[in-house]
Structure 1
């Protein structure tokens, strides 16, 4: 199986990257190269959303690529959030604890509800932790 990356909602504040297929030792370079233009345009404090609904498999090489994105976004005071992981991919993240569970969402709706809560807290004068 091959790997494919589709981006949408690209802006300096938020980019959604849809991963399709397998992210492994054979395809991580393709992912890194395809994701680079989106990351370059991200502003400080921006958010990269990785939609994993069509990602069938992830290896340690794929985990390293996602870790690099997370590191790059943290360096810009930004965030990397994962949505819609298939059960087998979610299990890999749980086993290796590569991504905090609070950064993995079961659906876009769950992510949007989380972001809505954070924004309401900020407007109401609360802290930014959900």
Structure 2
């Protein structure tokens, strides 16, 4: 199976990337090249959501790509969040401790509730961390 990436921008400060297939040593460069210009256009404080529901496999090369996205979003005071990883992909993240558990969500509803809490805290003048 190959790799596919579909993106959407449901809000000015939110980018959703839908990953499908295998993110591995064969496909990670195409992914990185597609993602780089999208990350360059993000506004300060933006959130990138990696929807992993369709991702069947991730290798160490794929993990590095995810780490680059997380680093890029942190550089603009933003967040990179994982949505609905399949059990085998989640296990890889768990094993290598690549992403804090608080940044992995099992559903869009759970993710939206988290984003709502962050925004309410900002509006109320509280720190989101």
Unpaired stretches in structure 1, ≥5 consecutive residues: none
Say whether 1:61 aligns with 2:93: no
TM-score by length of 2: 0.93
Equivalent residue, structure 2, for 1:30: 30
Equivalent residue, structure 1, for 2:21: 21
Alpha-carbon separation, structure 1, partners of 2:55 and 2:106: 14
Alpha-carbon separation, structure 2, partners of 1:41 and 1:119: 21
TM-score by length of 1: 0.92
Residue deviations 1:60-114 (CA, integer Å, cap 9, x gap): 0000000011111111111101101001100100000001111111111100011
Q: How many residues align?
A: 129
1:125–1:45 distance in 2 versus 1, CA, 3 Å: closer
CA RMSD, aligned part only? 1.4
Equivalent residue, structure 2, for 1:111: 111
Unpaired stretches in structure 2, ≥5 consecutive residues: none
